[in-house]
Chains A and B, each alone.
Chain A
């Protein structure tokens, strides 16, 4: 009804408008689409097309660098090969899971109490301390992984020096910490040690990021909750467990989601620390590294594309499970 009325009115009004105003009215209609168009053009060419192309590649076999027409359609054979026969892919998935847990869980276990303490006890120097914990997050992972490789080297590394000094502390001829700390230099390149080392570097890089996330969530918890608890005689640790933790739940869900998604894509730290090879017995090779090596050192783009889709589905399923477990319990 009103549309018909206004449609009749507009010509009457627009007769009085100048040409410039009429052009502007047209511009108003088209401008927003033009303004968002760069995103869609770029996404179509460098986002959507590669995704579709990747599905196509995952169903083919052969050398793609010589032209995709050289590739042969093989159906789901790449996926079946990965499921059934590719033992290195299986071990890379296990490595990824191990590293994701060993670097991910400590991040949150440390970040939450740390954020609580920064929130309650620090006043003046808070920003400096936050900065110290946060700065690993913004530094070049390649540069810093190289530095860590030297710190963790067997014979001259600072880490081994400190650990063995603690391990060799003697009291009355005993070494009370010898069972917990090494008494001889650890060869971090060996399969059983390379994973803890990578996990530590990843932990080091992201613990500050999680702390800042939790800190920002704590600042939104109403102060009167704590005031009421103090009046009722609740101790700080009781306030932490009965007020802060429950109130942090949405942020925990969010931060854990980010950790799951990020850790399962882990690439740069293990890649640099193992020199791009995966290390001895490929003990430090993650799924994303397997994907890269299959494509760019073996030249098998089809299987590598299948790896990327399997990894994508694994991440999607785990994110969905996390959503089921942590996200919808309220």
Chain B
């Protein structure tokens, strides 16, 4: 009995220590963001907050004159992508959940099958397509191709199947509601929880997207945050304080969203992956 307890305590310590390792990079990111490069390069490195945050941000704005514009671009692109996904995925999910129509199963299988296409396969041709369309350095090059994902359709279909009784749809139809108003007035108000989960997932995915903007954005002004941060690398001595300040700005919105809705986010991501 005593032996078992000792091993359990040991396991608690290991798991707790592991959790600290998981969080340590975030801690150092915030610490370094508040220190000058000289402090960071000293031995031992700083372990507590300093007072150089504003200087680091000044440096960041000097090196990246469009940094706030880049932050705005990231928000703008992520928000539009999210809104389009909520609309298109819920429409498709509603059709697949509530209608009996010819080729429904084939269509659903096809949509699911597109999830098997790895993103790198489209990287080069997409860059060329965007060039021919004249969409390089425009936000739509990022939000239009990602406006309706297969996983979102799957999540919406699952949720609508379980949350909305078919009788409700039929009752609305009997009352003379047309097909689009059934979707808009009956279905949409009832699937708000799924909107929340899918919205978070899409927003985070687009906010973190690196490969997409890397091949379609080459004007510094149109960079998203990941691209802007990346461009600080390799120009003489690396400004670690400024990089960490920028990284913190990129990560803070995610940390806020995660703390507010970690349960919903984790459940949504795993359910989407496991059942899909």
* A residues in contact (CB < 8 Å) with B: 20-21, 23-24, 27-29, 31-33, 35-36, 38-39, 42-43, 45-47, 49-51, 53-54, 57, 64-65, 68, 110, 114, 117-118, 121, 127, 129-136, 138-144, 146-151, 155-158, 161, 204, 208-209, 212-213, 216, 236, 251, 254, 258, 261, 265, 267-268, 271-272, 275-276, 288, 291-292, 295-296, 301, 304-305, 308-309, 311-312, 315
Contacts and interface: CB of A to CB of B under 8 A. Distances in A.
Interface residues of B, number: 96
Identify whether the interface residues of B are mostly helix, strand, loop, or mixed. helix
B165 interface: no
Contacts of A288: 120
A7 B24 CA distance: 71
B99 to A, nearest CB: 4
Given A138-B258, A143-B226, A144-B251, A46 B126 contact: yes
B238 to A, nearest CB: 8
Interface in B231-246: 232-234, 238, 240, 243-244, 246
B15 A129 contact: yes
A36 B107 contact: yes
Given A28-B173, A142-B230, A54 B273 contact: no
Nearest to B118: A265
Nearest to A18: B176
Interface in B63-116: 88, 91-92, 94-96, 99, 101, 104, 107, 111, 114
A131 B120 contact: no
Contact of B273 (A117, A127, A213): A213
Given A131-B262, A265-B119, A117 B15 contact: yes
A138 B124 contact: no
A212 B266 contact: yes
B187 to A, nearest CB: 10
B171 interface: no
B233 A24 contact: no
A131 B254 CA distance: 13
A118 B122 contact: no
B119 A138 contact: no
Interface in B219-276: 225-226, 229-230, 232-234, 238, 240, 243-244, 246-248, 250-251, 254-255, 258-259, 262-263, 265-266, 269-270, 273-274
